[in-house]
Amino acid sequence: MSKLRLATVWLDGCSGCHMSFLDLDERLLAVAEKADLVYSPLVDQKEFPAGVDIALVEGAVSSEDDLHKIQVVRARTRILVSLGDCAVTANVPSMRNKFPLQMSLDRAYKENVTLDPGTPTQGVPALLEKVRPIHEVVPVDVFIPGCPPSADTIFYAVSELLEGRSPDLSPRTRFGA
């Protein structure tokens, strides 16, 4: 039987969810027996490929780059998984939502800066006015709460999906650490 095509994606998150994925440790070998990792911050593949079976997506949608990326991911993925609280609720990145974007930019790049203050406009993606969880932007198939979800939870969910089953995550997950 041919292997499934697995991807992981990093939007606006701290990478803690990817660290939790890496905490699968030797269980990564079990995953690798069933799936090829075709796109990830962990591998050297620049463009999200077509025909992905399962994509684990960490982080909220905060910038125009995030927005474009998640739309491409959705169009090319069969099962899209929101991995972690930032993906599921927007969590920490959305703390700026209660302020106008310009106020946040001024705080970060002018008020707290002594050397050459100024908002960068080139070489960085423009921020969206509000940070949004993934399912407010594109349809999501599976939600894995947690900050981050444990390696055990991620392994269970991925294993079930690789077997063609829908994981029952309700007894295993909760929001927050």
Applying CB under 6 A, among 63, 67, 77, 85 the residue interacting with ligand SF4 is 85
Q: How far is the CB of 73 from ligand SF4 (least distance, A)?
A: 16
Q: Which is nearer to ligand SF4, 108 or 113 (CB)?
A: 108
Strand locations in 12-171 (E)? 35-39, 52-58, 61-63, 77-83, 127-132, 142-144
Task: Report residue 137 as tokens.
Answer: 């932007």
Residue window 108-147: x/- pattern of binding to ligand SF4, with contact defined by CB under 6 A? ---------------------------------------x
Stretch in the footprint of ligand SF4 (CB under 6 A) among 13-21, 28-36, 47-55, 157-165: 13-21
* Closest listed residue to residue 150, CA positions, set 80, 59, 85: 85
Count of beta carbons in the 10 Å neighbourhood of residue 33: 9
Residue window 38-67: x/- pattern of binding to ligand SF4, with contact defined by CB under 6 A? --------------------xx--------
Can you tell me whether residue 9 is helix, strand or coil? strand
CA atoms within 13 A on the CB side of 8: 24
Q: How far is the CB of 149 from ligand SF4 (least distance, A)?
A: 8
Q: Does 167 bind ligand SF4 (CB under 6 A)?
A: no
**Euclidean distance between CA atoms 173 and 177, whole angstroms:** 10
DSSP 149: P
Q: Does 154 bind ligand SF4 (CB under 6 A)?
A: no
Q: Which is nearer to ligand SF4, 59 or 167 (CB)?
A: 59
Within 21-40, the residues that bind ligand SF4 by CB under 6 A are none
- Phi, psi of 84, rounded to the nearest 5 degrees: 95, 165
> Peptide bond before 148: cis, by omega within 30 degrees of 0?
yes
Task: Report residue 37 as tokens.
Answer: 């990792």
How many residues interact with ligand SF4 (rule CB under 6 A)?
13
- Give residues in contact with ligand SF4 (CB under 6 A): 13-14, 16-17, 58-59, 84-86, 91-92, 147-148
